[in-house]
Amino acid sequence: MRSNPRDYQLVAPGTLHAVLSLLAEAPGKWLPIAGGTDLMVLYGAGKLAARNLVSIWSLPELRGIEVLPDQVRIGAGCTYAELREHPVIAREFPLLARAASWTGGTANQNRGTIGGNIVNASPAADSLPALLVYEAELILVSVRGERRVPYLGFHTGYKTTQLAGDELLRAVCLARQFSECLHHTRKVGARSAQAIAKVAIAALGGVAGGRVQEVRIALASVAPVPLRLFETERAVKGKSIDKCLLAAARRATVSEIRPIDDIRSTARYRSAVSSNLVEEFLRRLSAGAPI
């Protein structure tokens, strides 16, 4: 049943400081809402448990992409449309630009934000494997000040995060150090637009002297949180890519993911596709093919 707007409170204090003060008054009471592409779906279905919402849509302090010499700082309120259209993101962080381009359709890309994707913490979220691969750092802010945390480990379990009740995600920082690498990504879903991933991969790597020098692999929809495949990376790093290595990588992948059966797919299918996606990435890495 649809929600009754009478039961909900929504405020827009208008500045970051005012939002943080409100959050600090009663930590956990207020739920921030940006473009509403997740929360308004729950609201429309009568399933939004939070009754007090604070709008952070268009807060100037959360907008924009700042390009610094050694890093790119993406405001948490940056939309997918802004991400995919940004020349530095497209050139140096193509995994993120690509993920942004296949998140929903145009209207949702105009409203969905990277901060929302992170805080909503869905294991199927499109942009999160890319953030794992690029080893993003998050800036969290509250009236107590700012703190920086690695994105890896931010999700503590299914849909849970390290964010405190009075904190807001302010920005995502990416180090500009991957331009020499091969970037690879692919999403497997029921259709190419507007579908949530059954499995998705983001990976980067480099080969020198016939051996894998750098390798980072992450998958969506195969565990309670977006998953970095450290065991698989260990299995291939420093080795030359041959049939034996591909088999070892497939085994490592299947052993470290924890897929489930749900409305979109089955654990068995996800395991098979995950190891196929890892093998495809390694074959491309071996051939030196771009994405």
Footprint of other proteins on this chain (CB under 8 A)? 2-3, 5-6, 8-14, 18, 22, 33, 35-37, 40-41, 43-45, 53-55, 57-58, 104-108, 110-111, 192-194
CB of 194 to other proteins, least distance (A): 6
User: For other proteins, which is the closer residue by CB, 5 or 69?
Assistant: 5
User: For other proteins, which is the closer residue by CB, 48 or 173?
Assistant: 48
User: Residue 166 and residue 279: Cα distance in Å, rounded?
Assistant: 43
Nearest alpha-carbon partner for 113 in 155, 148, 81: 81
CB of 30 to other proteins, least distance (A): 8
CB of 154 to other proteins, least distance (A): 25
User: For other proteins, which is the closer residue by CB, 85 or 280?
Assistant: 85
User: For other proteins, which is the closer residue by CB, 78 or 236?
Assistant: 78
CB of 291 to other proteins, least distance (A): 17
